Structure 1
Amino acid sequence: MRCPCTSGDTYEACCGPLLAGDAAAPTAERLMRSRFTAFATGDAAYLLRSWHPSTRPNELEVDAETRWTRLDILAKEAGGPFDTAGVVTFEAFYREDGVRASMKERSRFVREDRTWLYVDGTPG
């Protein structure tokens, strides 16, 4: 099965180990891809675990009616394995109530104790 993040890899070789807690994302982009996969598979627990405590909500419900279909990475700023911060701009495509749509976001990430975390995002 191909990974929902559209990396081209299989789920088992891509986001699967991250969502299972068996591996950590080495870059901000990989964390972004794994978070998209978590939305696509309904894994709210992973989304909360990968969210920085300063901005993380107390709970999160993933809408089961939204079908996430594709992720395009539009731009990256820093966010590499030796950086402490990064920004990933993406467009995520989805289908809801039979209607195709997309959303764009500029997401900020930080790396603390060798772990990348999502901080927040702005539309765009």
Structure 2
Amino acid sequence: TLKEIGDQEANIAALKQAIKDKEAPMKVAQTRLYDRSFRPNVELCRDETQFRLISEVERLTESIESLKKKLLESEQALRNLEDTRMNLEKEIAVKTNSIFIDRQKCMAHRKHYPVVFRLAGYQ
């Protein structure tokens, strides 16, 4: 479980870095698209460059949204793993305490009891 938690944390860090890496090209594409919309003394046109810029912005937007969705899923999986780890640690603590009670407290009393054959009269 600890290994899976570590892997998931590394996955989350990689997804955050990927989202961050996509933001710079997105800003560039959006700026170019915006600048094409407000060119002074030039007629606005829908040419191949305009279409490519629009498709690039759409692709980057879809990519970022996909990464954000995966990030949310990974964070939820990490929370689930941490909950599982906490439950396992609680169970281990209870079982350790049970073994301690059995070995340290009960075993001392059991050693002093006579065996079943002795109680039955079969010495």
Same fold (TM over 0.5): no
| TM-score, normalised with respect to structure 2 | 0.20
* Structure number having the greater helix percentage: 2
* Structure number having the greater strand percentage: 1
Q: Which has the higher contact order (CA 8 A, sep 6+)?
A: 2
